[in-house]
Amino acid sequence: MSSSNIHATADVAASARIAASSRVWHYAQVRENASLGENCIVGRGAYIGPGVDVGDNCKIQNYALVYEPARLEHGVFIGPAVVLTNDHFPRAINADGSPKSADDWHPVGVHIREGASIGASATCVAPVTIGRWALVGSGSVVVKDVPDFALVVGSPARRVGWVGKTGEPLRRDGDIDWICPVSGDRYRQTDENTLIEVEN
């Protein structure tokens, strides 16, 4: 990638793969073998762990921490100070008091599917999957999988509604149908945790 797209203060590993159209800003760190697709933005002070896979058109805002082995599909938004964890049972030492090493644990990741957004200061506790176009509210703590199009908030995060591809909350239109007030796109709820797109 063009060095003009990486700020001079950023720390980018030589083995990281970053598309020429992506930008890495002040004091960000992109670790070994991480991969960033086209048109991505990595904000000031953000951290991208070793081997993390970031799709095209993603935005990772200031001071977000994306620990390996996270996977972000295309069009994912990671808000400021978001944390994607990687250790389900974190400890600094083993039971015998010896310091833990890389061989003493197995990282687990957060998978964020296409178009999903994670609000500022939210924490996703691995292993979890955030569904397509879902929206995690600011400050939430996600401890279980989030369905496609779900709007989740709180600690622990729970579904409080549905959102469409515009990010706007959907409005109910009948018993099982929902509609986006911005685009007019229609969705159908097939069970408590499943929403699907329907053709207009």
Active site residues: 74
Cβ atoms of residues 197 and 177 within 8 Å = no
Bond prior to 127 in cis (omega within 30° of 0): yes
Residue with tokens 């944390």: 83
DSSP state of 6: B
Query: Hey, how many other C-beta atoms are within 10 angstroms of the C-beta on 10?
Result: 19
CA–CA dist 200, 182 (Å, integer): 14
Cα 6 from Cα 27, distance rounded (Å): 10
Length of the chain: 200
Fill in the amino acid letter for 38.
E
Query: Buried (b) or exposed (e) across 101-123, using 16+ Cβ within 10 A?
Result: eeeeeebbbbbbbbbbbbbbebb
